[in-house]
Structure 1
Amino acid sequence: MSLKTALNEVNNAVLDLQSADYNTYHRPIQRLSAALHSESLRAITEQLKADVDFDAFVSDSDEGGSMIGSATLNWPKDRQKELGLAIHIIDRGAEDAGWFLNFSHHWYHAGNKFVANIRKVTTAVIIPFARDFKTYVESLRPAHTFAVEPNDFHRVFIVHGHDEAPRETVARFLSTVGLDPVILHEQANKGMTIPEKLAAYANVGFAVVLLTPDDEGRVKDAAEMQFRARQNVILELGYFVGRLGRDRVFALLKGQIEIPSDYVGVAYTAFDEGGGWRQNLALELEAAGYDIDWNKVMRRG
C-alpha cells in the first residue's frame, strides 16, 4: 500500500466511523488501525506509540468525582505525544470492542447511549488525530532530491523568454548539427516546482540564453523606458554561469535591450536574421568540448 493510499484509507475509515452506530462502529476502528500499521505508515506509527506511556497517561488523568461524565484526560501539549496516545486508543479499540465502549463511556460520556459516547470520542479525538497525523506524515516527507549526474555533452539547455521564434530557430539549429536542445516547459513536471525542475534538467554541458525584448523597465530617475529580457531569463543566465562557467554560456541578444549591469563587458552575440550567430555558437560549442560537424553548420549559414 502506497503512502497516499494508506492516508486515504485512514481518512475513509474515519468517515465511516462518523456515520457508524452501536452495531457497526468496530469495523471502521479496525480498518483505521490496519491502515496506520500498513507498510508505508508502520514505522511512523510505531515510533509515535513508543514515545508515550499510555497507561501512565490514563492513571495521571483526572478521574473526576462520583458524577458520571466528570472524568477528564490530561492530554499533553506536545502534538507528537498526542498523536501517539491517540494511536494507542485506536489500536486498543481495534483489538477489543468492549474496551473501546468502556473507555468512551468513562472519559467521553455523552449520555446513557453507548453510540453517543462513541461519537463524542470520534469527534474529540479521532477526527483531529486523522487531520494532524496526515500533516505530521507529510512534514516528514523529503523534498525532491536529484542525483548529481555528469554533464551531458550531447544536450544544450535553451533559456528563453516570450519570443518563440528565436527559441525554435535555435532549437532547430542544434538538432540539425546533431545535438539535443533542452527546453524547460517541454520536460515532464513530475510534481516539481520550477526551481526543482530547472535543477533536474540542468545536467548539460552548455546553455544558450536568448535575451529578447519581452519587458520594459527603467531605473528610478530615468525618463524613458528600456526594453529588457524577462526576469526569469536573467535569473537562469546567472544560474548557468554559476553552474557551468561563463565560457559555457552563450548569450544571444535580439534587438536593443538593457544589459544586466553585473554582466557588462561580457561578449554578446546578436541574433541576426542572416544567421551569422550560428557560426559563433558552433565555435563556442566546439571550444566547450562538443563534437561539431561543420558541414552541417555551414549548410545552415
Structure 2
Amino acid sequence: MTALDLFDQINSAVLDLQGATLQTYGRSLRRLGQLLNHPDLFQINEGLTAGLNLEQFIEDGRKTGGSLVGSSVLQWPDDPKKQLGMQLLLVKHLAEDPQRAINLSHDFYYSGKKVISGIQTMTGQLIIPFVRDFKAYVRANGSTTVQLLAPPKSNKVFIVHGHDVAARESVARFLEKIGIDVVILHEQANQGRTIIEKIVANSDVGFAVVLLTPDDEGRSVGGDSLEPRARQNVLLELGYFIAKLGRGNVCALKKGRLEIPSDFAGVVWSVMDDNNGWKTELAKELKAADYPIDWNKVMG
C-alpha cells in the first residue's frame, strides 16, 4: 500500500476527461467512478446519498423538456448536502456506463451537433463543480489522505523529442530492446485532434523520456549571442509530464550543449553521451520507477 492523496488522482481523472475525445472519454470517466467508489469514501458517500432516488431525479428532469433539443433541466434539491449527494450518484451512474454520458449530455447539456461538445459542457458544468464541492465536504467531514493500492504500472513510455531523429530512434530502439512499449506522438493516429489533445490522449503511460537536444537558438532581449536551446514543444511537454507523472517518472536526456530552462535548473538529468552510458542511467531510472528491467538486455 502506498500513501497517496486520493484527490490528486481524482483531479487527474477530471483533467484527462477535460481533454478527452469521443474515443477516450469513457476511460477517464470509468477511472473517476473507481476513485469515487474507493472504500475510504464509503462512509462519506453513504451519508450523502441516503434517501435519494436518482432514477426519479433524472425522470423529473426529462419531464421539464419541450420540443427544443437540450431544453430539459435537472431539478437539483435546495439542500446543499442533498444536491451534492445527487451529483455523486449521477457521476457514479455515468461512470458505470459511459454511454449514459452521451444521452444525459444530449438531454441536459446540449452544446451543438458534436457529441463530445456535450460531454465537455457537462464536465465543466457538472463534474468539475461537483469534485470541487465534494473535496471540500470530505475535508470537513472525513480524511483526505487515504491508502490506495498503487495502480498497475503501465509498460508504456512516452518519448518527447525535437528534431534530432537519430537521438529519438536510438532511445526508442533501446527501450523496445529491453521490453518497453514506446509511444512517439507522430506515430499515433491524429483522429482530427489538436496536438495537445493528442498528447493528452496518448499520455496513459507510466514514464516519459524527454530528449533535450540543441534544435533551436535564442537569447534574452539585449543578449550578446544566440544560445542553443531545446524546442519549445519539448519544454512544454517536459512540464506536462512532470505535472502528470511526477518528477520521479520523467527522465531528461541532454545531448550536446544547450541552455537549460531556469525552472528546471538543479534537477538532475542524464547526458546522452556517445559511449552509450546513458542506457544504463535510463535503465536505473526505469527500475526506480518500478519497471521490470532485465540487466542482461541492457548490457547486451
Q: Percent identity?
A: 54
Partner of 1:87: none
Which of 65, 68, 89 aligns to 1:47? It is: 68
CA distance in 2, matches of 1:240, 1:223: 33
CA distance in 2, matches of 1:168, 1:49: 50
Contact kept in structure 2, 1:151 and 1:204, CA below 8 Å: no
Contact kept in structure 2, 1:156 and 1:207, CA below 8 Å: yes
CA distance in 1, matches of 2:251, 2:118: 32
Partner of 1:296: 297
Q: Deviations over 1:40-88 (max 9, x none)?
A: xxxx99325989xxxxxxxxxxxxxxxxxxxxxxxxxxxxxxxxxxxxx
Whether 1:191 aligns to 2:192 is yes
Question: What letter is aligned with 1:192?
Answer: R
Structure 1 residues 201 and 49: alpha-carbon distance in aligned structure 2, compared to 1, 3 A threshold:
closer
Question: Superposition pairs for residues 184-223 of structure 1, below 5 Å?
Answer: 184-223=185-224
Partner of 1:158: 159
Partner of 1:137: 112
CA distance in 2, matches of 1:231, 1:151: 32
Question: Superposition pairs for residues 276-295 of structure 1, below 5 Å?
Answer: 276-295=277-296
Contact kept in structure 1, 2:212 and 2:255, CA below 8 Å: yes
Contact kept in structure 1, 2:209 and 2:251, CA below 8 Å: yes
Partner of 1:255: 256
Question: Superposition pairs for residues 9-48 of structure 1, below 5 Å?
Answer: 46-47=67-68
Structure ranking higher on relative contact order (CA contacts 8 Å, 6+ apart): 2
Question: What letter is aligned with 2:277?
Answer: G
Q: Which runs of 4+ in 1 moved over 4 A?
A: 48-51, 143-146
SS of residue in 2 equivalent to 1:280:
helix
Contact kept in structure 1, 2:213 and 2:254, CA below 8 Å: yes
Question: What letter is aligned with 1:213?
Answer: P
SS of residue in 2 equivalent to 1:232:
helix
Question: Superposition pairs for residues 118-133 of structure 1, below 5 Å?
Answer: none
Whether 1:173 aligns to 2:141 is no
CA distance in 2, matches of 1:295, 1:288: 19
Structure 1 residues 200 and 50: alpha-carbon distance in aligned structure 2, compared to 1, 3 A threshold:
closer
Report the CA distance between 1:193 and its aligned residue: 1.1
CA distance in 1, matches of 2:202, 2:220: 34
5+ residue gaps, structure 1: 1-43, 52-135
Report the CA distance between 1:137 and its aligned residue: 3.2
Instruction: Give TM-score scaled by structure 2 length.
Output: 0.52
Report the CA distance between 1:140 and its aligned residue: 7.1
| Root-mean-square deviation (Å) | 2.6
Report the CA distance between 1:244 and its aligned residue: 0.6
Instruction: Give TM-score scaled by structure 1 length.
Output: 0.52
SS of residue in 2 equivalent to 1:250:
strand
SS of residue in 1 equivalent to 2:211:
strand
Partner of 1:265: 266
Report the CA distance between 1:210 and its aligned residue: 0.2
SS of residue in 2 equivalent to 1:181:
strand
Contact kept in structure 1, 2:158 and 2:184, CA below 8 Å: yes
CA distance in 2, matches of 1:259, 1:179: 28
Count of aligned pairs: 170
SS of residue in 2 equivalent to 1:47:
coil
Contact kept in structure 2, 1:151 and 1:203, CA below 8 Å: no
Question: What letter is aligned with 1:214?
Answer: D
SS of residue in 1 equivalent to 2:112:
helix
Question: What letter is aligned with 1:248?
Answer: N
Contact kept in structure 1, 2:153 and 2:291, CA below 8 Å: no
Contact kept in structure 1, 2:157 and 2:181, CA below 8 Å: yes
CA distance in 1, matches of 2:71, 2:293: 63
SS of residue in 2 equivalent to 1:46:
coil
Partner of 1:235: 236
SS of residue in 1 equivalent to 2:236:
helix
CA distance in 1, matches of 2:153, 2:267: 25
Structure 1 residues 277 and 50: alpha-carbon distance in aligned structure 2, compared to 1, 3 A threshold:
closer
SS of residue in 1 equivalent to 2:182:
strand
